Amino acid sequence: MQLTKNGGRIMERLKRIVSIISLIFILLPVTLAFAEEPKAPAAQAAPAATASPAEQAPAAPPAAPAWDAKIAADTVWVLITAFLVFFMNAGFALVESGLCRSKNAVNILSKNVIVFCVTVVFFWLVGFGIMFSSGSSFLGTTGWMLYGADNSPATGDAYKGIFASLNWTGVPLYAKFIFQLVFAGTAATIVSGAVAERIKYFSFFVFAAVMAVIIYPVAGHWIWGGGWLATMKTPFLDFAGSTVVHSIGGWAALMGAILLGPRIGKYTADGKVNAIPGHNMGMATLGMFILWFGWFGFNPGSTMAADPNAIATVAINTCIAGAVGGVAATFVAYMSLGKPDLSMALNGILAGLVAITASCNWVTPAGSFIIGLVAGVLVVYAVLFFDKIKVDDPVGALSVHLVNGIWGTLAVGLFAADIGGVKGLFYGGGTAQLISQIIGIVSVGVYVVIVSGISWLIIKGIMGLRVSKEEEREGLDIGEHGMEAYPDFVGASSKR
């Protein structure tokens, strides 16, 4: 007995060493690449050139060219909103760990920490290039590690470079990158919640890399990278990512949750749903507020320019949809479940925010109200639906991000109020936009389901997906990480 246990330990160590070596092999070419310095972006050269005449004539009042001020304002706006979106990592960490049990808190927090780190590395290496560089209408084929021609912040026809799909925003390339990077991180983080409390830590680690390399950038290229969905006769529209970020994350999460199966104790022997309460509703609530706060970067920042009217419109639409989603979910929970469940209210607010993300630039506050209202209703019934079909999603990630990502994307085709030339069905625009939205939803869904399904299965075959029953009962904190989140406290006693 003792011997086999030791044998298992040694195998475990071997596996760890192999994974570390493979990591070194991945990182080695990167380190070598530093031998040649990247060409200084044109953006850095430009201000220096305009500064020198001023030095020669110090008596003249400093009259900065108008475009310079705009670039500065836009860049500050894009970076500040990027940092807000980055902060959403904290929101996800708190929501997910709060809605799970204390015995798995370290594991969930670890996943939220590592998923962003992994995304940074792989999105910089290849993800950004696949998503935004020129190539085919299916994926970009240059721009690895941001190398290649680029004269940002030049825009439109003045832009000469390989990231032409982003030539509409007049900010430096690195600002474009960091903004898109935090979005990629969000998509990957969504998966973490749905597979919580049972997935092996390093299996999730690998999937996070797959997400940042293949899944997110390819489907993203179709929509935001000048790919085929963006170049249809009536282009598919997704302003800030109801599909690009939330549905992609949601579809990948769905496949993970299905392949993992429900947590031990989620269903009784006769198939009845058992509640597995989260361990800290305070954390979950704070996490929701941080996500909401971050969404003021996520949506208004997606203008990628400090355009006063646009960012104000997007901000109010974002706020209204979230708030109405919370009210709707509270009342639906109260009427159909008997009590105004706090976790449902939190999910409802997030559902409203996800749903308004695709259309926030093209709808009126009244449209936003209805989009949020529908989202808040949808999310409660989606939670009950996923419970019923035995797809165990501890934090409601599928109901929030997948279901409402789809709803929000459809809503563009319904509620777009002839703002920026986009007209939805309810504003006399006919069904053209709606049909484009459906094409986008279905094609992205099919792609992500297939690729993430295959990726999960490969990971399952090589590393395994799910921890052992004993480990799941004891908690992943001890099993995966050898530590506890609350070593000073006695947890709630539970048969599960």
Partner 1 sequence: MKKIEAIIKPFKLDDVKDALNEIGIQGMTVTEVKGFGRQKGHTEFYRGAEYVVEFLPKTKIEVVVSDEQAEKVVETIINTARTGNIGDGKIFVYDIKDVIRIRTGERGKEGI
The one segment of 90-98, 158-166, 289-297, 340-348 that binds partner 1 by CB under 8 A: 340-348
**HEC string for the chain:** CHHHHHHHHHHHHHHHHHHHHHHHHHHHHHHHHCCCCCCCCHHHHHHHHHHHHHHHCCCCCCCCCHHHHHHHHHHHHHHHHHHHHHHHHHHHHHHHHHCCCHHHHHHHHHHHHHHHHHHHHHHHHHHHHHHHCCECCCCECCCHHHCCCECCCCCHHHCCECCHHHCCCCCCHHHHHHHHHHHHHHHHHHHHHHCCCCECHHHHHHHHHHHHHHHHHHHHHHHHCCCCCCCCCCCCCCCCCHHHHHHHHHHHHHHHHHHHCCCCCCECCCCCECCCCCCCHHHHHHHHHHHHHHHHHHCHHHHCCCCHHHHHHHHHHHHHHHHHHHHHHHHHHHHHHCCCCHHHHHHHHHHHHHHHHCCCCCCCHHHHHHHHHHHHHHHHHHHHHHHHCCCCCCCCHHHHHHHHHHHHHHHHHHHCEEECCEECHHHCCCCHHHHHHHHHHHHHHHHHHHHHHHHHHHHHHHCCCECCHHHHHHCHHHHHHCCCCCCCCCCCCCCC
Task: Indicate which single residue of 43, 383, 406, 451 sits in contact with partner 1 (rule: CB under 8 A).
Answer: 383
Scan residues 156-185 and list those touching partner 1 (CB under 8 A).
none
Closer CB to partner 1, 294 or 394, in the complex: 394
Closer CB to partner 1, 287 or 396, in the complex: 396
Question: How near is the Cβ of 411 to partner 1 at its closest, in Å?
Answer: 25
- Position 233 contacts partner 1 (CB under 8 A): no
Task: Indicate which single residue of 244, 344, 360, 465 sits in contact with partner 1 (rule: CB under 8 A).
Answer: 344
Closer CB to partner 1, 153 or 394, in the complex: 394
Question: How near is the Cβ of 76 to partner 1 at its closest, in Å?
Answer: 41
Closer CB to partner 1, 356 or 398, in the complex: 398
The one segment of 155-163, 202-210, 275-283, 317-325 that binds partner 1 by CB under 8 A: 275-283
The one segment of 49-57, 101-109, 274-282, 453-461 that binds partner 1 by CB under 8 A: 274-282
Residues that contact partner 1, how many (by CB under 8 A): 20
- Position 301 contacts partner 1 (CB under 8 A): no
Scan residues 393-422 and list those touching partner 1 (CB under 8 A).
396
- Position 341 contacts partner 1 (CB under 8 A): yes
The one segment of 163-171, 198-206, 330-338, 438-446 that binds partner 1 by CB under 8 A: 330-338
- Position 277 contacts partner 1 (CB under 8 A): yes
Task: Indicate which single residue of 58, 61, 282, 338 sits in contact with partner 1 (rule: CB under 8 A).
Answer: 338
Closer CB to partner 1, 139 or 350, in the complex: 350
Scan residues 351-380 and list those touching partner 1 (CB under 8 A).
380
Closer CB to partner 1, 238 or 387, in the complex: 387
Closer CB to partner 1, 319 or 332, in the complex: 332
- Position 276 contacts partner 1 (CB under 8 A): yes
Site residues for partner 1 per CB under 8 A: 273-278, 333, 336-339, 341, 343-344, 380, 383-384, 387, 396, 493
